Amino acid sequence: MLYFKPARLGDVGLGDDELKKDRKTCLAFGPCGVGDRALYLNSLFLDRRFYVPVANVRRAYKRVAISKGAFTGKGIFGSIPYLVVEYGKGESIQCTFKHENHVDMMLAEIQRRFPHIKTMSEAAARKMAEARAAEEAKYKKDLSPVALASLERLCQAREFLEKRPDLATRLAAASKARRVDQLTNPTHKWIALAVFCLALIASAYGAYTWLSGAGDYGMYITLAGLAALFFFAGANVLPTARNNSRAIAAALDKAKKDMAEYIGEYPDFPLPARYAHPATLSRMMRSIREGRSETVPDAYEDMKVVLRSLNSDVRVSQTEYDEVVAIKPMFLLEDYK
């Protein structure tokens, strides 16, 4: 395997031997990666082209750009996920990702390896603090001893899960992918593959016609074919070795198995492995704090009732939205059982 030395960002760097070893052993997430000594970031065309030593990183957080259509509800729109890394003395770099779950998994790995690195922007942290204060105003002031004991049990379980945020993030991403796969007509993937193949043939034919001088229209056929190729390649709809029902189901099974092995070390964990996520425990704790339940089983059932009632017509806070997006696919896959 060839080694291409990544370029340093900022004033702090690593020695050549140390950098080479760390770069080769880094854990890749899309175009970026997390090593023991540095974060590896992409350029416009090359993956892991730059590096920033962990000691020089101040923040790393996700940013999602949404086109205007996403807010108006009209036309074709989409979102572009970014990883923003702040380092040095006020410097920063923004890295584009193809899949948002890769950003989430990378941030989870950063949080696991380097707890001192903040994984939220200053503005997001400020808004979350305001939302937390508004939420705490709804809490019941005088909880019973039973409710306090239940709350303490859930808090300890959540702290245990937060020691391995990568497991919960991977479980949430695998559940979401499986849910999307279940709702997708398999025929659409094969139609996309057929169109992709036709576009490939059209590109080759257009290039041949254009280069051989048989006609100027070959250039237009080539451009149209290449546009279709890039569109379907980026839309993540083509059936591939990883993007098929069997592979997606296998990834979810592995995520559940890894989670089950981890929580198996915890005595009497309050959730089954398929729902083991800090957001699930947070919603159960909220049920107790707001006085809707006292025991852990009652909080579990109340959490499911509230979660089932949430849909696109219900307005929630950003914090609650993030929780629902993370855990609702898990419950939908199991029909809330």
Q: Give per-residue pLDDT as tens, 151-206.
A: 999 999 999 999 998 899 999 999 998 988 888 777 777 777 787 788 888 888 78
Q: How far apart are CA 27 and CA 163, in angstroms?
A: 18
Q: How far apart are CA 278 and CA 250, in angstroms?
A: 23
Instruction: Give residue 74's pLDDT.
Output: 42
- Residue 248: CB atoms within 10 A of its CB come to 18
Q: Is residue 211 domain-resident?
A: yes
Helices in 11-60 by DSSP H: which ranges? Answer: 16-25
- Residue 44: CB atoms within 10 A of its CB come to 7
Q: How far apart are CA 148 and CA 311, in angstroms?
A: 31
pLDDT tens-digit map of 252-291: 999 999 999 999 999 889 999 999 999 999 999 999 999 9
Section 230-249 average pLDDT:
70
Section 25-44 average pLDDT:
93
Domain that holds residue 191: 186-234
Domain total for the chain? 3
One domain, residues 212 and 274: no
Q: Residue 292's closest CA among 305, 280, 281?
A: 305
One domain, residues 37 and 48: yes
One domain, residues 247 and 326: yes
Q: Residue 106's closest CA among 43, 173, 160?
A: 173
Instruction: Give residue 69's pLDDT.
Output: 42
Q: How far apart are CA 78 and CA 116, in angstroms?
A: 33
Q: How far apart are CA 43 and CA 95, in angstroms?
A: 7
One domain, residues 168 and 222: no
pLDDT tens-digit map of 1-20: 445 789 999 888 999 999 99
